[in-house]
C-alpha cells in the first residue's frame, strides 16, 4: 500500500513538484494545492480555523490531535489550497485510508470562495491520491444535509454507517450521512 504522507520539503517556488496546479479546464483552475506541513504552525492554525468556520468541528474538539493522528498513521495527509503561495488557505481536505478503504474528512472551503468549484477540485485531488495508492473505494461522512447534497453531486451514493451492520438509515438520521464512491482510473 502506498504511503499517503511522504513529507516533501516546502516548495522553493510555487510550481515545484510538491505543489499541484488545478487542471486548467476546471472552474477552480486558480488553485494551488499543497500538502500541509505540521511544522508550519500558522498554516495548521489556519486549517483548524477553516474547520471551525465550516462547522466541521466544535470548540471541544482537539483539532491539533486530529492533525497529528492523521500524519502519525502513515496513511493520511491534509491538502490545502490557496490562490497563490502568499495568500491565505481557502480550502482543506484530509485524505487517508485504513488499508482497505479510502476516507476523506474535513473538506471545507472558506465561505467567500464557495460555489466556484474549489470543493470539487479538492475532492478530486483526494480521490486521485487514493486511487494512486491502490484503493478502489472512498467513503465520507457528510457533516450536514448541504454537504450530503455536494457529495451526491460528485457521484457518491448513500452507504451504511461503519458500525450499522450494513443497513442504511432513514434520511433524517446522522447515520444516513455516510456516502461512498467507487474510484476508477
pLDDT score of 174 more than 70 = no
Q: The C-alpha cell of 31 is what?
A: 488553485
Burial of 113 (0-12, 13-18, 19+ CB in 10 A): middle
137-141 and 102-109: which strand pairing?
A: parallel
List of E strands, 26-183: 32-35, 76-82, 91-97, 102-109, 137-141, 157-158, 178-182
Query: How many CA atoms does the CB half-sphere of 95 hold within 13 Å?
Result: 27
pLDDT score of 168 more than 90 = no
pLDDT score of 181 more than 50 = yes
Pairwise pLDDT comparison (172 vs 140), residue with the higher score: 140
pLDDT 10s digits, 23-63: 444 445 678 999 999 999 999 999 999 999 998 888 888 89
19, containing H or E segment: strand 19-21
Q: The C-alpha cell of 86 is what?
A: 502568499
Most confident range (mean pLDDT) of 56-65, 71-80, 172-181 is: 71-80
| Residue 161 DSSP symbol | -
pLDDT score of 131 more than 50 = yes
Amino acid at each position: 500500500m502506498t504511503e499517503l504522507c511522504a513529507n516533501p520539503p516546502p516548495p522553493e517556488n510555487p510550481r515545484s513538484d510538491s505543489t499541484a496546479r488545478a487542471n486548467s479546464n476546471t472552474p477552480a483552475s486558480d488553485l494551488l494545492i499543497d500538502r500541509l506541513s505540521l511544522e508550519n504552525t500558522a498554516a495548521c492554525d489556519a486549517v483548524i480555523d477553516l474547520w471551525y468556520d465550516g462547522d466541521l468541528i466544535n470548540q471541544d474538539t482537539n483539532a491539533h490531535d486530529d492533525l497529528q493522528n492523521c500524519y502519525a498513521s502513515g496513511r493520511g495527509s491534509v491538502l490545502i489550497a490557496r490562490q497563490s503561495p502568499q495568500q491565505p488557505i481557502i480550502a482543506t481536505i484530509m485524505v487517508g485510508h485504513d488499508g482497505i478503504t479510502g476516507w476523506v474528512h474535513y473538506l471545507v472551503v472558506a465561505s467567500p470562495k464557495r460555489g466556484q468549484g474549489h470543493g470539487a477540485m479538492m475532492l478530486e485531488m483526494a480521490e486521485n491520491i487514493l486511487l494512486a495508492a491502490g484503493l478502489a473505494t472512498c467513503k465520507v461522512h457528510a457533516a450536514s444535509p448541504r454537504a450530503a447534497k455536494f457529495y451526491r453531486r460528485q457521484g457518491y451514493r448513500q452507504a451504511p454507517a461503519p458500525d450499522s451492520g450494513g443497513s442504511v438509515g432513514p434520511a433524517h438520521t446522522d447515520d444516513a450521512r455516510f456516502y461512498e464512491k467507487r474510484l476508477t482510473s
